[in-house]
Amino acid sequence: MSLALESPHLQSAASLTQADGALPLSEAYAEILPHGLLRGQVVVCHGVAAYSIALGLVERAVTVGSWLAVVDLEQVSPEAIAEFGVPLHRVIGVTTGDDPANVLSAVFDGFDVVLIPAHRYRGALARRISQRIRAKGVTLIVIDDADEVGVHDAVSLGDVALIGSDMHWEGIGWGVGRLLARHLTVSATGRRSPRPLRSEMQLPSVVDVRVGHINDAASDVDNGIAGVTVDDDEEYRWRLRVV
């Protein structure tokens, strides 16, 4: 796969957003990233709700004009992206296949922000990627949803590590209710940070996940939640995986 950006009608993504080296952030992230989301920076999202932390991180930048590439993250559905307020017309999904280095190189030529899984950011490829994004001024978000990277190793992979913890839901009782909001603590650590910065967040900012009465029988719990089986409903399958 390759991306052709030679048409005179296409502009570099960098020309469509801020030129001062930083992309805009929502207020919650501004507390833990006081210098903004920097171009040429690698941010590793780790711990609980890693996907949600990453989507919330890029929402503001994409909304005001940046372009986002979601690479080799088939589990991130369009519904999930839209739920965080990210405009889908500025998002493109990319599969690198057997040629990740060249495909990623092409992606970095045309996008401000790129999301990739942690398994794609390893060894020689990681070194090549980091050199390329700094040359192009791309912000790379590495998502570690499977705890492939230890908390203490996350910073060594990137410039900043965002680590989710202490997650709790609001609105659900003993087998009945509606999930109204999810709250968690996000900590930011970095090579230049003397101490971690923390922010209490609600991700996404608006949640409406309907949950009905859950049968006490173990077989019913195994087969489905709120009367919807995982196999029967794509939206619920995504929600259950990401949260």
DSSP state at residue 14: G
Of the listed ranges 119-128, 174-183, 225-234, the one predicted with least confidence: 225-234
Residue 1 placed within a domain? no
Residue 7 placed within a domain? no
Based on the structure, what is the number of domains in the chain? 1
The domain in which residue 111 lies consists of: 13-242
pLDDT at 94: 94
Residue 61 placed within a domain? yes
Would you say 204 and 239 are in contact if contact means Cβ atoms under 8 Å apart? Answer: no
Residue 235 pLDDT more than 60?
A: no
Written as one letter, the residue type at 90 is R
Question: Can you give the CATH number for the domain in which 98 is found?
Answer: 3.40.50.300
d(CA 86, CA 64): 10
More confident residue, 218 or 208: 208
Entry pTM: 0.74
Residue 171 placed within a domain? yes
Q: How confident is the model at residue 242 (pLDDT cuts 50, 70, 90)?
A: very low
pLDDT at 173: 78
3-state helix, strand, coil in the chain (%, to 5): 35, 30, 40
Average pLDDT over residues 99-128: 89
pLDDT above 70 covers what percent of the chain?
A: 70
Query: Each residue of 151-191: pLDDT tens digit?
Result: 556 656 788 999 999 998 888 777 778 877 889 999 998 87
More confident residue, 54 or 128: 54
Cis, bond preceding 87 (omega within 30 deg of 0): no
Q: How confident is the model at residue 56 (pLDDT cuts 50, 70, 90)?
A: very high
Query: Each residue of 3-30: pLDDT tens digit?
Result: 444 444 344 444 444 445 889 998 889 8
Residue 5 placed within a domain? no
pLDDT at 122: 81
d(CA 207, CA 18): 30
Q: Are strands 91-94 and 68-71 parallel, antiparallel or unpaired?
A: parallel
More confident residue, 74 or 69: 69
Q: What is the 3-state secondary structure (H, E, C) of 116-174?
A: EEHHHCCHHHHHHHHHHHHHHCCEEEEEECCCCCCHHHHHHHCCEEEEEEEEEEEEECC
pLDDT at 116: 94
Residue 111 placed within a domain? yes
Residue 6 placed within a domain? no
Residue 79 placed within a domain? yes
- Which residues are registered as beta bridge partners of 46? 144, 163
Residue 72 pLDDT more than 90?
A: yes
d(CA 73, CA 93): 8
Would you say 171 and 209 are in contact if contact means Cβ atoms under 8 Å apart? Answer: no
